[in-house]
Amino acid sequence: MAKTFLLLLLFLVFFNNSLLLAASPEGVKNLTIDQRLIRIERLLRNQNMLEVFQRLDSLQSEVQSIRGDMDVLSHDVASMKKGQRDIYLDIDTRMQEVEAKIDSVNSLAPVGDLGSDFSGVQGEPSPAKEEEEYQLALDLLKGGKYLDAINQFQVFLMTYPAGSYADNAQYWMGEAYYVSRDFKASIVEFTKIINAYPESPKVADAHLKIGFSYFELKDWQNAKSYLEKVVKDYSSSAVSRFASRRIQQMKIEGHY
């Protein structure tokens, strides 16, 4: 439509000046100097207008090309968002399945009845069995089977709530939630270490990971609070350096 309008306008301009511009050589000789100057000016004006129209046409083509690129980008972004939603739904579904399994274990096998190696009526738990089950959960985590690891750590902690590996199991369960990007759940589990095992070496790491989890949730105030506590209370440890770097990152990005 725009091209048609421009061509029509160009035609009218040329037509409007055609009588003067199409004069025969004899006719040109009979023109006065002023008339000849006017004729030359109109010739130049028409040439400039033609160049303008050509540039407008080129710009219009570029705009159409840009719009096409934008449509492609919009489609790509929509596809990426759909992929992210699918991943989230898959994780959520798998977590619900694990929770259902845990509920089933709780209802069918009370802690005191889980086997001859467990605490309760049937005697004290076997240290070898405790280490074996802890290592099983840890291997699941290392193998990237995060939801299975969470399930196993939960069963382990129900079985050995005061065991030698209880604080480590609690920490690694929080870590499993963290790498699964369930940051709210990771905060809950890491907080349990601080409250239930205040003397554990994992307390410093738990504070750090709580700060990291709040960072991922974009809760800048809580993230800053926990990370600053790590820097203050554990200044000589590696976790302090990690906390300092994340605080610096937040400052550079303008989060406080």
The pLDDT tens digits of the residues spanning 44-80 come to 666 666 666 566 667 767 777 777 777 767 666 666 6
- Domain-wise residue ranges, the chain: 2-86, 104-252
Report the pLDDT averaged over residues 228-239: 92
* Residue 26: CA count within 13 A, CB half-sphere: 0
Report the pLDDT averaged over residues 167-191: 95
- 23 within 8 A of 36, measured Cβ to Cβ: no
Q: Show the tokens assigned to 88.
A: 């989230």
- 161 within 8 A of 126, measured Cβ to Cβ: no
- 231 within 8 A of 240, measured Cβ to Cβ: yes
Q: Is the model's pLDDT at 219 over the cut of 90?
A: yes
Q: pLDDT-based confidence at 147, cuts 50/70/90? A: very high
Q: What is the rounded CA–CA span in Å between residue 180 and residue 137? A: 15
Above pLDDT 90, what percent of the chain? 44
Amino acid identity, position 23: A
Tens of pLDDT, residue by residue over 115-129, are 444 344 344 567 889
User: What pLDDT does 113 receive?
Assistant: 43
Q: What is the rounded CA–CA span in Å between residue 233 and residue 211? A: 14
Residue that the structure tokens 């409250």 belong to: 195
* Residue 193: CA count within 13 A, CB half-sphere: 26
User: What pLDDT does 245 receive?
Assistant: 93
Q: What is the rounded CA–CA span in Å between residue 77 and residue 69? A: 12
Q: Is the model's pLDDT at 170 over the cut of 90?
A: yes
- CATH code for the part of the protein at 104-252: 1.25.40.10
User: What pLDDT does 130 receive?
Assistant: 92
- Whether the CA torsion 118, 178, 240, 193 is positive or negative: it is negative
